[in-house]
């Protein structure tokens, strides 16, 4: 087995290689003045099982093009099997036509990936659980919920006065799974509205919430954080219910430019994300804590 990294998240690739007890193999990725990329595998891969670590997070298009070239380079060089580990799958939310005339972007990504000769892809916490159904290659959908459950226990947040929160109705399945991992911790869901023109998010009400319950801590769990508006709205709503100890768990720190200010100034005690997407230093803030997916990924790669 050989493990390679694109430029999207070399730190994660190094952690995975360390977990596997092997050295990270080498690609040369050269960027021409016009922005085009030249990709060359620098070692012999004939009849080898090759792993590429490349989240397709922002800049999404750049990371996808680099990934396509890396797969092609390995297949042309005789690799027996190529597996891509892309914890965050770009364009996953564009999985159907929302308005007449739109492209189904995820279908384009799927057909392009499969045309490269890719054998297998490993991802984490997709926005829609039906996404794997459109792929014809081996598709492994992992979750960070097990990691979150262990962190919650280690932080001593799994108390009788703690409540799990899904910040929108679409996360009910996710919160139910985590509840079971935490011995049926109670949970509630927020009903929210988003203005599609302004982007403003309003958290209207808590569903399945008992106003007379004595909850002192809330654990908000989501698949991704982009602008942070949904999380901030959820935190503010929970505070109106008298809950002051609020923690956030999200797999994918997509983090738009405004996220640092919004999340850093929120009333959340700690915000836990994973290293599936690299968070640059200029987007980090004091309450941010980064958990590593490397052990889970190494376990999957070792067993396949």
Active centre residues (catalytic): 192
Assign 3-state DSSP to the chain and report helix, strand, coil percentages, each to 5.
30, 25, 40
HEC sequence for 153-185? HHCCCCCCCEEEEECCHHHHHHHHHHHHHCCCC
DSSP state of 69: H
- For residue 44, give every residue at least 6 positions away whose Cβ sits within 8 Å of its Cβ, in sequence order, or none: 77
Dihedral sign of CA atoms 118, 121, 127, 133 in order:
positive
Peptide bond into 59 cis (omega under 30): yes
Distances (CA, A) of 292 to 71, 96, 161, 183, 289: 25, 31, 28, 24, 10
């Amino acid at each position: 087995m050989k493990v390679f990294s694109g430029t999207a998240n070399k730190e994660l690739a190094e952690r995975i290689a360390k977990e596997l007890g092997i050295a990270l193999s080498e690609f040369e990725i050269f960027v021409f003045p016009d922005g085009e990329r030249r990709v060359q595998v620098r070692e012999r891969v004939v009849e080898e099982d090759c792993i590429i670590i490349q989240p397709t997070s922002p800049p999404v298009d750049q990371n996808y093009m680099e990934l396509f070239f890396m797969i092609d380079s390995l297949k042309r060089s005789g690799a027996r099997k190529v597996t891509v580990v892309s914890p965050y799958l770009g364009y996953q939310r564009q999985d159907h036509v929302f308005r007449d005339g739109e492209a189904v972007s995820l279908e384009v990504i799927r057909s392009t990936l499969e045309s490269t000769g890719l054998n297998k892809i490993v991802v984490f916490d997709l926005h829609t659980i039906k996404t794997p159904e459109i792929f014809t290659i081996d598709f492994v959908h992992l979750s960070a919920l097990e990691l979150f459950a262990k962190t919650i226990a280690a932080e001593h947040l799994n108390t009788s006065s703690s409540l799990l929160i899904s910040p929108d109705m679409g996360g009910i399945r996710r919160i139910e799974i985590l509840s079971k991992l935490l011995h049926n911790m109670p949970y509630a869901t927020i009903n929210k509205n988003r203005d599609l023109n302004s982007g403003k998010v309003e958290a209207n009400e808590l569903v399945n919430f008992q106003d007379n319950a004595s909850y002192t801590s809330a654990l908000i769990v989501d698949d991704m954080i982009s602008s942070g508006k949904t999380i901030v709205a959820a935190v503010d709503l929970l505070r109106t219910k008298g809950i002051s100890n609020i923690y956030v768990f999200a797999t994918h720190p997509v983090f738009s430019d405004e996220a640092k200010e919004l999340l850093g100034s929120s009333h959340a005690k700690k915000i836990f994300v994973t290293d599936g997407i690299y968070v640059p230093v200029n987007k980090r803030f004091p309450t941010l804590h980064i958990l590593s997916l490397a052990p889970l990924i190494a376990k999957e790669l070792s067993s396949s």
